[in-house]
Amino acid sequence: MMKHRILQQKDPLLALMSFRAMPATATGVSPAELLMGRRIQTTLPTLESNLVPQWPDLSIVRAKRDWQKSAQTPNLILVLMNS
């Protein structure tokens, strides 16, 4: 729902920046953080300490992603069986 609202902005570059700065639900880290190792500066005010490079622990990110995928697999099987 939030992604849909962000992508409806008039400025497409601002929409992309907001989308890339938003943390993913599966990993808890934004795509920009995974790419650059820090939060990107958006139009919202932020502390300077949040902009300092600090790589997320990739093993934790991968574990969260894998757990999210495994939690969704039974639901996918049920959907496929009912369709």
Question: Residue 50: which domain range?
Answer: 2-82
For the cut 70, the answer to whether the pLDDT of residue 6 exceeds it is no
Give pLDDT, residue 2. Answer: 59
- Domain total in the chain: 1
21-76, pLDDT tens digit by residue? 888 777 788 888 887 787 777 776 666 776 677 777 778 888 888 887 787 666 66
pTM to 2 decimal places: 0.46
Per-residue CA distances from 6 to 10, 59, 65 (Å) = 10, 29, 23
- Find all residues with CB under 8 Å of 34, minimum gap 6, and list them: 27, 56, 61
